[in-house]
Chain A
Amino acid sequence: MLTNITIGQYISGDSAIHKLDPRVKILITIILITALFIIKTFTGFLIYLIYVLLILFLSNISVIRVLKGLKPLFFLILITMVFHLFLTRGGEVIWQWKFLRIEEEGLFTGLFMTSRIALLIMFTSLLTLTTSPLQLTDGIEYLLSPLKRFGVPAAELAMMMTIALRFIPTLLSEAEKIMKAQMARGADFESGNIVKRAKKLIPLLVPLFINAFRRAEELALAMESRSYRGGEGRTRLHELKLEKIDFISFVFSLIFAIAISFF
C-alpha cells in the first residue's frame, strides 16, 4: 500500500560518480546550476545536455531512470510552455485562431524556459541518484561547518536530517499498520470526495503523530543515555577524504561552467 513509495531516489552503485566525495558533488551541482541560469543560447543548452549525458554514462544509471524523475514535474513544464507560448509577445505572428495567438518570441522563450527546467531537474536528480542520503548529510555538514562561527548549528542540522531520513520508512510502515487496524474496524479510506477523505484520515494521522512524538522522546533519551550532547568534539567513523579525482572533477566542472556561461 504505502511501502512502495520510494523516498530519496538513491541507486547504489560503485561507479566513478558514486565514489566522488559528496562535498565535491554538492559544490559541482551548485556551480553548474548557477551556470544553467547564465546560459543564453540553445547551443549552450545542447553542450550542457551532452555534459549531463556524459555524467549519466559514467554513473551507469539508465537515461530512462532520469527521465522518469521528470514525470512528476511534467505538469509544471507543460504549464510553463503553454503560458510562454500564448502570453509572451514579440516577433512575427506564427499562428492565430480567434484571440489565441502565438508569436515568435513566445515560442522561443517557452522552449528556452522548459529546457532550462528540464536540465535543472536532470542535473539535481543526478546528485540524489548517485549519493546516498547519509553521504549527502555528511557533505552538507562539512560545507556548513564554516558557518558554525556565526551560530549555525551545522552538526545538529545534519543529525536532524539523518534522523528524519532514517525514520521515513519506519513511519511509512507504521502508517500502513494503523491504516490496516482502522480498516479492520470498518474504516474506509478510499471512497468519498476530497473533504470526506481528508476527514477520514484523522484516525490515521492522530495515532501516527502521537507515536512519532513518543518515538522522538524515546530516541532522545536513548541518545542522551549514550552521552550524545551535540556535535561539539564528535569524531566520525567514516572521515571524508578528498582524492585526486575529486580535485580534477571539481576543476574541470568549474572551467566547464565558466566556459559555457559565455554561450
Chain B
Amino acid sequence: MLISLENVTHIYEQEKSVRALSNINLKIDKNEFIGLVGHTGSGKSTLVQLFNGLIKPSRGKVLVNNIDITAKRVSLKNIRQIIGLVFQYPEHQLFEETIYKDIAFGPINLGLSKDDIIERVKEALGLVELDYNSYKDRSPFDLSGGQQRRVAIAGVLAMKPRVLILDEPSAGLDPEGRKNLMKLLRHLHRDYKVTIILISHIMEEIARLATRVIVLDKGEIMLDGSPKEVFAHKEELKKMSLNIPEITKILIKLKERGLDVRTDIFDINQAKKEILTALRGNRNVD
C-alpha cells in the first residue's frame, strides 16, 4: 500500500480548535488517479498535506510505503521525494534568477550529482513542453502566468515523485493551458506510472481522468468510488454544494424527458454517440 491513513483526526488548535478532519481511514494504491473533491473548507488541502508530513495529524497514523511518518525521527525528506505536492498557484513560489536554478532546487536538496540534476531539469522542462536550451537561462519572472505555472510544476516533477498531488492546478489558466495540463497528467499517469491525486472544482476534469473519486465534506469522507459510482449520487453531491459534470447533467435531463440514455457518461464524444443511438432507436420505433 502506497499511502494509508488510519483513524486520522486533525484539529487546528490555533484557529479556535477547528476540526479539519475527523476519523479518516483511507488507502491509496500504486498507479491510482484520484480526484479529490469537496466544498471550500472541507479539508482537502489539510488531507494532502498530511500525506507528505507537512502537517502532523492530531490523532491517528499516516503510513507511506508502510513507514509511519508520524513517528519521530523519520526522514521527511525521503517522504517528500516520494510524494510531490504542487500547491495552489505554485508560480507564487518561484524565487531563483533562472528557470534552470529554480527547477534544480528540489534535486539539489536531494543531494544529487550535477549530471543527474541537469538530466532531471531537462526531463522536467520537456514534460511541461518548454525547450531546455531556450528557457534554462531566462528569469522565471519574465514569463507569462501560464508558463510560470509550468515551470513551478516542473520544479516538483524534477524530484521524480512517485505520487504527485496537485491542489487546483488549473485555477486561473486559460482553456488551452488547462487542456495541456490535463494532457500532462494523463501522460504522467499512463506512461510514467505516477500515482496522481488531483484536487479540483471542475468535475469534467475529474470525471475524464480519475479512476477513483473521493468526496470530502466537513472533514469526513462522504463518497469514495469510481467516477460512475460517485456521480450517480447526484442529490447527495448537491447537498454538499458540489456539482456533477455538465455532460452527465444533460444526459440526466434527457432521461427525465423520456429519452432512453445512459447517465454514467462523462466524455463528450461518448455522450454524442449515446444520444444519437438513443435518437435513432426512437426513430426506429416511430
Contact = CB atoms under 8 A, between A and B. Distances in A.
Task: Give the contact-size bracket for chain A.
Answer: 20 to 34
Given A3-B14, A177-B87, A180-B49, A185 B109 contact: yes
B279 interface: no
Nearest to A4: B14
A178 B80 contact: no
A230 interface: no
Given A3-B14, A4-B14, A210-B141, A184 B156 contact: yes
Contacts of B14: 3-4
A190 B152 CA distance: 23
Contacts of A91: none
A206 interface: yes
A207 B159 contact: no
Given A4-B14, A202-B95, A184 B77 contact: no
B80 A182 contact: no
B92 interface: yes
A178 B92 contact: yes
Interface string A1-44: 00110000000000000000000000000000000000000000
Nearest to B109: A186
A38 to B, nearest CB: 43
Given A207-B94, A211-B92, A184 B85 contact: yes
B43 interface: no
Nearest to B55: A180
A177 B167 CA distance: 13
A186 B81 contact: yes
B145 to A, nearest CB: 11
B84 interface: yes
Contacts of A3: 14-15
Given A203-B95, A203-B105, A207-B94, A188 B77 contact: yes
Contacts, number: 57
A183 interface: yes
A211 B91 CA distance: 10
A184 B81 contact: no
A181 B93 contact: yes
B234 to A, nearest CB: 34
Contacts of A177: 87
A189 B122 CA distance: 27
A207 B95 contact: yes
Given A177-B87, A180-B87, A181-B90, A187 B105 contact: yes
A184 B141 contact: no
18 contacts: A3-B14, A177-B87, A178-B92, A180-B87, A181-B85, A181-B90, A182-B93, A182-B105, A184-B54, A184-B80, A184-B84, A184-B85, A185-B80, A185-B109, A185-B159, A186-B77, A203-B93, A211-B92
Interface of B: 14-15, 49, 52, 54, 77, 80-81, 84-85, 87, 90, 92-96, 105-106, 109-110, 141, 155-156, 159
Interface of A: 3-4, 174, 177-178, 180-188, 202-203, 206-207, 210-211
Q: Which 10 A-B pairs have the closest CB atoms?
A: A186-B109, A206-B95, A185-B106, A184-B85, A181-B93, A181-B87, A203-B95, A207-B95, A180-B54, A4-B14
